[in-house]
Amino acid sequence: MLTGKYRKNVTVGTEVEIVQKHHQRSGELTDGFVKRILTKSPEHPHGIKVMLETGEIGRVKNVIEEE
């Protein structure tokens, strides 16, 4: 499983698990498909910020790789 800290691992349409701002304490993950990448830098220590197709915004914790 790829980490969400590097922008090169995250592309539009990729299935990912994100943690939303209000779930940071509990660490609850939301999964979905990337609609937009919001982080401009090539890496971020807490994960690349993305918008899912559902409109939810959070930082990528895991990139779900296709079998």
Q: Closest Cα to residue 15, out of 36, 32, 37?
A: 32
User: What would the two tokens of residue 35 be?
Assistant: 């609609």
Please tell me the CATH code under which domain 2-63 is placed.
2.30.30
The domain locations on the chain are: 2-63
Rounded to an integer, what distance in angstroms lies between the CA atom of residue 44 and that of residue 25?
Answer: 19
So what's the pLDDT on residue 66? Answer: 75
C-beta separation of 19 from 30 below 8 A: yes
Q: Can you read off the two tokens belonging to residue 8? A: 């090169």
The tens-digit pLDDT sequence of the chain (67 residues) is 789 999 999 999 999 999 999 999 999 999 999 999 999 999 999 999 999 999 999 999 999 987 7
Per-residue confidence (pLDDT) for residue 65, from 0 to 100:
85
* Tokens standing for residue 54: 């559902």
How many residues belong to the chain?
67
Q: Residue 35: its pLDDT value, please?
A: 98
